[in-house]
Amino acid sequence: MKNFLNNESAARTCSLIILGFLAAISFTACTQTPPIDPNELVVEASIAELQSAIIDGRITCREVVQAYLDRIEAYDRSTGLNAITELNPRALQRADSLDQALAAGETPGPLFCAPLLVKDNFDTYDLPTTGGSIALAGSIPPDDAFMVRRIREAGAIVIAKTNMAEWAFSPRQTVSSSYDTTANAYAPDRTPAGSSGGTASGVAASFGVAGLGSDTGNSIRGPSSHLSLAGIRSTIGLTSRDGVIPLAFDRDIAGPMARSVEDVARIFNVVAGYDPADPYTEAGKDLKENDYTSFLDPEALKGKRLGVLNVFADPERSDSMVYARFEDALQDLREQGAEIVDFEIDNMRELMRAGLWCGRFRYDMHNYLLSLGADAPMQDVMEVLQTGEYGPDVEGSLRSISEAETEIIHPAERAEPCPDFADHPGRQALLSAVVRSMDEAGIDAFIFPSWSYPPAPLTRANEEYRGDNSQGLIPAAGLPAITVPMGFTYEDLPAGLQIAGRPYSEGLLFGLAYAYEQGTQHRRPPKGFSVIGK
């Protein structure tokens, strides 16, 4: 193996570790050890494990990236998974530059050599971004989305883009007119949910160490639940959506999805924070924690009071196997020191009927298309109804939007105005009711199954869409919520536990999810994606 740390640079690296500059990376050694098989290392690997192996001299960043590329080549098409839309042809070149920087004694970034999968609605200056639509096929934005820029600056490698539901319309399945259908890595005849199903199935199959998705109503937490991943939807205002193709800008959230809570927290450290290009982040400008990994305590559940949100945890409206896993989770939480109580939100049903959805896709897409400059393939997304550049799964929604949004104006300027989140009386009333109800119940967070039913068959993903508990409350109120693996139903179908809290309580949520994850160890890799050559 290439000796990429000379004595001087190795000593310098060790000194940095001793001084604490690399504490967040958790390296455990600075001496060279025998090389390892990269194909074995990358399966289910964490960011820290990859980085430790590189620092130890057991592997290079190039070998790590090549191993992931080999897995994509071996498994994505042959299994019918179809998670990957575009490979980054410069991924190996970027890996070489990181190896060279490390050999020169440079301090690596917190995500150095973390090969990440990025959903096809994140702008990437060097790869097409289609939003799942054939109308944007080949569209290469002029710059990176805020989060993509941040992960690259932190040393991560965008190894590939991933498939998504067209225009992010569907929480049910991941079908695009640009790249077709993504399957569930645990059951190829099942849906990964939508719209971030490509990222979810790709991460589950170890095509990357983690990934980025977006969530307007479900699309980080739902696919993460269906693929035995952890995924977080942040408080609205804590993370930027700049450069992410919008569905509804007053609800859209972007963020990380990974095989462990720790890796979600590591990436969240990098991507959260103020962005002048996203006015919503002004509200959360000073509310980001210094280090979300500092909350990762295996004892974090001790003494916590958790409320079971009964409206989403109803055995009469759940698959019996999923509900059984939820009951198991409640017992596990109790055994880890949490107090479990019933929880209701005052007037939730009435508040949820108060016209909380602002249809704004046409307006938001117009602003996005303007950001593409002269190379934009259109200025009004509704042009696709004339060109026929859409898939059958979205035709009805596009026609409904065309009828409802007859002008390209901000929803607040319509005859019946629909203001942004901070000024929306109905959404603010709902948010106040949630926080007030939590305070009155004396709870730290509330919990429910992320989905009450297992992943539906691909052939009936629309007809059997039921049990999605991520829609409605959490996005409408702008609350943070994290999903974490809760076990499996019917042998191999994942289920997820969702933990939600007060605005800007992400640190607490990370701690609770991590303690539950470490205490239960539910995640296991999907069959059919073993180590190459084994």
Report pLDDT digits (tens) over 149-181.
999 999 999 999 999 999 999 999 999 999 999
- Give me the catalytic one of 52, 119, 234, 240: 119
Q: Are strands 339-343 and 230-233 parallel, antiparallel or unpaired?
A: unpaired
Paired tokens of 394: 């979205």
Q: What is the pLDDT of residue 16?
A: 37
**Angle (deg, nearest 10), helices 47-55 and 91-103:** 50
CA–CA separation, 251 and 304 (whole Å) = 29
Q: Express as a percent the part of the chain with pLDDT over 70.
A: 94
| More confident site: 365 or 34 | 365
Active site residue 119: yes
The strand pair at 157-162 and 84-87 is best described as antiparallel
Compute the distance between CA of residue 184 and CA of residue 194 in angstroms, rounded to an integer: 11
Contact 240, 278 (CB under 8 A): yes
Paired strand residues for 160: 87, 117
Q: In Å, how far from its chain's centre is CA 170?
A: 16
Read off the pLDDT of residues 223-267 as tens digits, 9 standing for 90 and up. 999 999 999 999 999 999 999 999 999 999 999 999 999 999 999
Q: What is the pLDDT of residue 11?
A: 37
299-356, pLDDT tens digit by residue? 999 999 999 999 999 999 999 999 999 999 999 999 999 999 999 999 999 999 878 9
Residues 347-367: tens digit of each pLDDT: 999 999 878 998 999 999 999
In this predicted structure, the answer to whether residue 221 has a pLDDT above a threshold of 90 is yes
CA distance 534 to 279: 50
**Per-residue confidence band for 533, with pLDDT thresholds at 50, 70 and 90:** confident
* Confidence band for 3, pLDDT divided at 50, 70 and 90: very low
One of 46, 177, 195, 470 is an active-site residue; which one? 195
Minimal CA–CA distance to 82: which of 157, 165, 156, 145? 165
- pLDDT reported for residue 17: 35
Tokens 């696919």 label which residue?
223
Q: Is the C-alpha dihedral spanning 458, 461, 467, 472 positive or negative?
A: positive
Neighbours of 393 (CB within 10 A): 22
46-85 tens-digit pLDDT: 999 999 999 999 999 999 999 999 999 999 999 999 999 9
Q: Where is pLDDT greater, at 13 or 473?
A: 473
Residues in CB range of 155: below 8 A, 6 or more apart: 98, 108, 109, 110, 111, 112, 113, 114
Distance (Å, whole) CA 349 – CA 310: 13
Instruction: Determine the Cα–Cα distance for residues 506 and 480; give it in Å rounded to an integer.
Output: 7
Contact 533, 39 (CB under 8 A): yes
Q: What is the tens place of the pLDDT at every residue in 394-410?
A: 999 999 999 999 999 99
Residue 14's pLDDT is what? Answer: 37
DSSP code at position 208: S
Q: What would the 3-class secondary structure string for 61-76 be?
A: HHHHHHHHHHHHHHHC
User: What is the model's pTM?
Assistant: 0.93
Model confidence at 24: pLDDT above 70: no
**161 is an active site residue:** no
**Over residues 380-387, mean pLDDT:** 98
What's CA 342's distance to the chain center, in Å? Answer: 29
Is 285 known to be catalytic? no
Q: How far apart are CA 271 and CA 257, in angstroms?
A: 12
**pLDDT at 21 > cutoff 50:** no
Q: Report the chain's mean pLDDT, rounded to a whole number.
A: 94
Average pLDDT score over residue span 279-307 = 98
Looking at 139, 219, 228, 450, which residue is catalytic?
219
How confident is residue 35, by pLDDT bands cut at 50, 70 and 90? confident
SS3 243: coil
Residue 33 confidence class, pLDDT cut points 50, 70, 90 = low
Is the predicted pLDDT of residue 2 greater than 80, yes or no?
A: no
